[in-house]
Amino acid sequence: MKTLDIHTTKRIEFIDITSQIERLIHQEKIEDGICVVFCPHTTAAVTINENADPSVVRDINHQLSKLIPEGRGYSHMEGNADSHIKSSLTGSSLNIIVEKKALVLGTWQGIYFCEFDGPRRRMVYVKVK
């Protein structure tokens, strides 16, 4: 298992971690397999979406915050109930197929770390099997 260190700078922010994961996979001995990308935080997540036009992830966050607004009428008292809910809806793990030590992604796909309660120091675990 390898660990990526991530520093987020805003409360809500998507960070493209595709090239960092590709670098880790290149160091592995396994040529072909499955790559698990895991987020060990309960107010963050990981997702795959378009990395060509940055307005796509802006729209995802805008719509998510419309459906799950910050700080109104939740019972969790830390002010980040919205972040926890977004984390479960977006998901904490991804599977990507690996061939010849490279991620098999679609043309427009990038892997994003989804910060829903930053800024914070975060981690992402990566394992190829």
**Residue 47: which residues within 8 A CB-CB, separation 6 or more?**
14, 60, 90, 91, 94, 111, 112, 114
Q: Is the peptide bond before 40 cis (omega within 30 degrees of 0)?
A: no
User: What is the sign, positive or negative, of the torsion defined by CA atoms of 27, 32, 33, 34?
Assistant: positive
Selected range binding its own copies among 5-13, 17-25, 30-38, rule: CB under 8 A: 30-38
Question: Which of 12, 84, 115, 116 touches its own copies (CB under 8 A)?
Answer: 84
Residue 120: count of CB within 10 angstroms of its CB: 14
Shortest Å distance, C-beta 105 to its own copies: 6
125 contacts its own copies (rule: CB under 8 A): yes
Selected range binding its own copies among 4-12, 15-23, 26-34, rule: CB under 8 A: 26-34
Each residue 39-58 as x (binds its own copies by CB under 8 A) or -, in order, gives xxxx----xxxx--x-xx-x
Report the candidate in 42, 39, 40, 38 with the shortest Cα–Cα distance to residue 85: 42
- Where on the chain is the footprint of its own copies (CB under 8 A)? 1, 32-34, 36, 38-42, 47-50, 53, 55-56, 58-60, 62-64, 67-68, 74-78, 81, 84-85, 87-97, 99, 104-109, 125, 127, 129
